[in-house]
């Protein structure tokens, strides 16, 4: 059991490329706040549910690069693809609350539906995950759904956002920068929680994992700030613990652009091969040892 006062943080990279300086900053930021010297714990989680993009060689490289940087983590690494049953159970729970529906729309059909309802391309309501779903399949009858499934049409499971918000009322979380922050999950519309090829979405898996791993402080880049609105809602619906949040600034290259996995030059590997020491790489990420 985690003592009430112990800070538990995590670093949760997706093995879809090599770690770069932005990750060094993020990992060291989390590790510093979950430091054992301050009575904390720091966990590592591999977010590999996107089977089309995740690759075992990137996972191995992540572990090796973090070790080279001198990072250690507490307990075993949690690999999401080993825990699909946990996400399935969460989906079953939401289903039993009547909050999920199958959606058979393709991306193309969603776009066509939105355009038909008269939105000019620059006016299309956007959620942090893309265009807000117009709700086409929400009104389908159970018979229709059964038939589409029997025909083998691929489908996603969407959360009925209006019903979900109604079930739990207004919510908030404690944010390091913004203090008490009201959750506004409605900006996502009927968010996808599972797809045929990715049976648990990022939002679902992260919310379940942070709870199961006893994370008390989620640290991650501010590009994921909006995701916290929907994570807070899932916590309430699934009766999961609510951690505090610290959305940190994103480290940028000298020109101001964000580091990305496709920029080969700033990966930890490339820097290491170019002769940099781990202390120098930490320093480049603004995290001097």
| Catalytic site positions | 261
Check binding of 65 to ligand GLU (CB under 6 A).
no
Q: Is 12 in the site for ligand GLU (CB under 6 A)?
A: yes
Select 197 or 223, whichever has its Cβ closest to ligand GLU: 223
Binding pattern for the stretch 213-232 against ligand GLU, x by CB under 6 A and - elsewhere:
-------x---x--------
Q: Report the Cα–Cα distance between both ends of the chain, in Å, rounded.
A: 30
> Could you tell me which residues are beta bridge partners of residue 127?
130
Q: Which two tokens stand for residue 171?
A: 């919510």
What is the torsional sign of CA 287, 256, 44, 185?
A: positive
Q: SS3 helix, strand, coil % of the chain, rounded to 5?
A: 45, 15, 40
Residue 14 or 267 having the CB closest to ligand GLU: 14
- Tokens read off for 20: 């770069």
**Does position 183 bind ligand GLU by CB under 6 A?**
no
CB 268 within 8 A of CB 61: no
Residue range at the interface with ligand GLU (CB under 6 A); choices 8-16, 55-63, 81-89, 267-275: 8-16
Rank residues 20 and 282 by Cβ distance to ligand GLU and give the closer one. 20
DSSP strand pairing (41-46 vs 78-79): parallel
* Shortest distance (Å) from residue 224 CB to ligand GLU: 6
Which CB sits closer to ligand GLU, 13 or 134?
13
Contact residues toward ligand GLU (CB under 6 A) are: 12-14, 47, 206, 220, 224
């Amino acid at each position: 059991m985690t003592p009430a006062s112990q800070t538990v943080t995590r670093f949760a990279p997706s093995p879809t490329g090599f770690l770069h300086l932005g990750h060094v900053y993020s990992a060291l930021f989390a590790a510093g706040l979950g430091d054992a010297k301050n009575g904390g714990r720091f966990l590592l989680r591999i977010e590999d549910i996107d089977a089309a993009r995740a690759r075992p060689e990137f996972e191995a490289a992540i572990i090796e690069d973090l070790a080279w940087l001198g990072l250690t983590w507490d307990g075993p690494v949690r690999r999401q693809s080993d825990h699909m049953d946990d996400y399935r159970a969460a989906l079953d729970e939401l289903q039993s609350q009547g909050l999920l529906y199958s959606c058979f729309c393709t991306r193309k059909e969603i776009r066509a539906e939105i355009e038909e309802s008269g939105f000019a391309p620059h006016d299309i309501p956007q959620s942090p995950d893309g265009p807000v779903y117009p709700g086409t399949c929400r009104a389908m009858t159970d018979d229709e759904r059964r038939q589409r499934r029997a025909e083998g049409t691929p489908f996603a499971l969407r959360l009925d956002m209006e019903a979900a918000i109604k079930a739990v009322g207004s919510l908030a979380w404690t944010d390091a920068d913004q203090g008490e922050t009201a959750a506004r999950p409605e900006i996502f519309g009927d968010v996808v929680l599972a797809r045929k090829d990715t049976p648990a979405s990022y939002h679902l898996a992260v919310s379940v994992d942070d709870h199961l791993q006893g994370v008390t402080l989620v640290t991650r880049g501010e590009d994921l700030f909006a995701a916290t609105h929907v994570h807070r809602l899932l916590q309430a619906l699934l009766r999961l613990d609510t951690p505090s949040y610290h959305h940190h600034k994103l480290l940028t290259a000298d020109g101001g652009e964000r580091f990305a996995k496709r920029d080969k030059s700033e990966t930890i590997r490339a820097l290491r091969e170019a002769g940099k020491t781990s202390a120098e790489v930490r320093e480049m990420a603004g995290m001097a040892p």
